[in-house]
Amino acid sequence: MPNKAFITGVTGQDGAYLSQLLLNKGYEVYGLVRRLSTPNYWRLEELGIRDKVCILEGDMTDSHSVNSIVKSIRPLEVYNLAAQSFVATSWQQPVLTTEVNALGTLNVLNAVKLYSPEARFYQASTSEMYGNSNINNTQDEHTPLHPRSPYAISKLAAHWFTINYRESFGMFACSGILFNHESPLRGIEFVTRKITDGVARIKCGLSDHIALGNLDAKRDWGFAGDYVEAMWLMLQQEQPDDFVISTGINHSIRDFLDAAFSAVGISNWEPYIRQDPRFMRPAELHELCGKNSKAQEKLGWRPKVAFDELVRMMVEADLKRIEKESTAKTRYEPSLVAGH
Ligand code: NAP
Ligand code: F7E
């Protein structure tokens, strides 16, 4: 019998890569998808797995749908990836962010506890939970948590619910504290993809600038394809535990601009960048850099794709998309949406 995995957030960046990984391992993959006026399957389609994932309609905020799905599948592994994941939006929609990320996680945990208690549960926690706290400029599993956005607060609640259900009910529940991970499938509102898309458009003569906020923030950026392997590894251990997943190296937005513009042969990017206060955050996280020694030691996990390779991969994918898109009539314009 193939192992059954249930993924919330299956249409997102990580959900798509994780589905691909699990399908390659012989799993039956079931994904929770919310009703949208226009379905969002582009990532599953780009990976060529749209028809291999069993799509089930429901919503994180609707406990009835989550219960029915878990009851009908009885999965052995549950990966809770669904979220309102854009930090900037969380200040504009704090209630929705909390309902989806915190209460939605509680809905999934309760459904697993009631209808598939033997299932192993993975929670998508985040380095945002640290805020600006650090020990010697790095963060690990013992660094104090001090969230600085409604997103981070909602994720902190979900993180503690996961730990509490493990300690209270003996559930095999793990929390992966993942630092930023990117890919050609990253949403276009996040700074990395906004830059690689912008650079590709500048290179093709379709745009003359990119509008950005704070260029000095530093993030520990890895490749999403590597990070979903860590999620799977956490659920294959003898005991449930929490792990930091990161590269251990951070870069500023300026470094990312250097690498992205170099990938198309432009050495001086300053004339192409406009700093726009709309993209500044009410409370910024200045520097994140994860110490991944526990994951290396206990999971045998380490990142494979380096920073320059990741940036190049993303720029090349966006150049290819623009070639294809040149005939399309409309496209999403991130700079028209405040805060994106
Ligand atoms: P993403 O691309 O934004 O995907 C989010 C997913 O959640 C999408 O499939 C989205 O569905 C779904 N979703 C949102 N609201 C929902 C609702 N009410 N009901 C059902 N589904 C809903 O995020 P990601 O980058 O793949 O990240 C995966 C998870 O890891 C998230 O929980 C994120 O917060 C967390 N995380 C991400 C990073 C990172 O750097 N990527 C780092 C640490 C933690 P639609 O397609 O319908 O929008
Ligand atoms: O911002 C700065 C911004 O939106 C990164 C999510 O996956 O990772 C992600 O959260 C940095 C910030 O990601 C723009 O101020 C400058 O310092 O790409 P981002 P994030 O906020 O780090 C964590 C780990 C998650 O858990 C989240 O779900 O870039 N920045 N100018 C900008 N950011 C954006 N988006 N747009 C700009 O124009």
305 Cβ below 6 A of ligand 2: no
Q: How confident is the model at residue 93 (pLDDT cuts 50, 70, 90)?
A: very high
Over residues 303-322, mean pLDDT: 98
Contact by Cβ (8 Å): 6, 73: yes
Catalytic pick among 27, 151, 165, 227: 151
> Model-level pTM greater than 0.85?
yes
191 Cβ below 6 A of ligand 2: yes
Distance CA 94, CA 153 (A): 10
Token pair recorded at residue 174: 């793990």
Catalytic pick among 8, 97, 126, 247: 126
What proportion of the chain, given as a percentage, has pLDDT over 90? 94
- Residue 327's pLDDT is 61
Over residues 291-312, mean pLDDT: 98
218 Cβ below 6 A of ligand 2: no
To the query of whether residue 332 is one of the catalytic residues in this protein, the response is no
Distance CA 181, CA 18 (A): 13
Domains of the chain: 4-184+221-245 (3.40.50.720)
* Whether residue 21 has pLDDT greater than 90: yes
83 CA from centroid of ligand 1 (Å) = 4
- Residue 293's pLDDT is 98
Distance CA 111, CA 114 (A): 5
Please report, for the chain, how many H helices and E strands are present, in that order.
12, 13
- Residue 338's pLDDT is 46
To the query of whether residue 98 is one of the catalytic residues in this protein, the response is no
To the query of whether residue 79 is one of the catalytic residues in this protein, the response is no
- Residue 249's pLDDT is 98
229 CA from centroid of ligand 1 (Å) = 17
* Whether residue 335 has pLDDT greater than 50: no
106 CA from centroid of ligand 2 (Å) = 26
- Residue 2's pLDDT is 83
183 CA from centroid of ligand 1 (Å) = 14
Integer CA distances (angstroms), 2 to 42, 81, 185, in order? 26, 22, 27
Lowest-confidence region among 58-72, 166-180, 313-327: 313-327
Classify 223 as helix, strand or coil.
strand
What is the residue-averaged pLDDT of the chain? Answer: 96
Q: Quick: pLDDT tens for 214-264.
A: 999 999 999 999 999 999 999 999 999 999 999 999 999 999 999 999 999
Shortest-distance ligand to the CA of residue 83: 1
Over residues 77-91, mean pLDDT: 98
84 CA from centroid of ligand 1 (Å) = 6
List pocket residues of ligand 1, CB cut-off 6 Å. 8-15, 32, 34, 36, 40, 59-61, 81-85, 100, 124, 126, 178, 180-181, 187
Shortest-distance ligand to the CA of residue 60: 1
- Residue 33's pLDDT is 98
Q: Quick: pLDDT tens for 208-220.
A: 999 999 999 999 9
Q: How confident is the model at residue 328 (pLDDT cuts 50, 70, 90)?
A: low
- Residue 325's pLDDT is 83
Distance CA 24, CA 99 (A): 33
What proportion of the chain, given as a percentage, has pLDDT over 70? 96
CA angle in degrees (0–180, nearest 5) for 189-22-229: 65
